[in-house]
Amino acid sequence: MNRSELVAAVAEHTGHPQTAVNGVVDAIFTVVSKEIAGGNKVTIPGWVSFERTNRAARQGRNPQTGATIQIAASKGVKVSAGSKLKAAVK
């Protein structure tokens, strides 16, 4: 399911117009992005949680040449499924 299919399905389920649902989906991801970028964890209890992770700088190898390279520190996002989502998948 892609974004437009999700918006259409939610609009059909709720009876709201697709433009309103699309605005809500945009707002949700904007808020989640800002909170994670600020270092805050976002949790929807039972469904999903998002949190920023930090990856330390480390040494790696160039697979073509075998030369040692320095990989810079970076940030990532961890997404964890909640109990309701896990139960729905079973």
Query: Chain-centre distance of CA 14, in angstroms?
Result: 24
Query: What is the average pLDDT across 14-38?
Result: 96
Superfamily of domain 3-89: IHF-like DNA-binding proteins (4.10.520.10)
**What is the tens place of the pLDDT at every residue in 75-86?**
999 999 999 999
pLDDT classification of 62: cutoffs 50, 70, 90: very high
**Structure tokens, 66:** 């075998």
Is the dihedral angle over the CA atoms 59, 60, 65, 66 positive or is it negative? positive
Cα dihedral 20, 10, 50, 56, rounded to 10, equals: -90
- Kindly list the domain boundaries of the chain, sorted by start residue: 3-89
Q: Tell me the C-alpha distance between 50 and 32, whole Å.
A: 8
**What pTM was estimated for this model as a whole?**
0.78
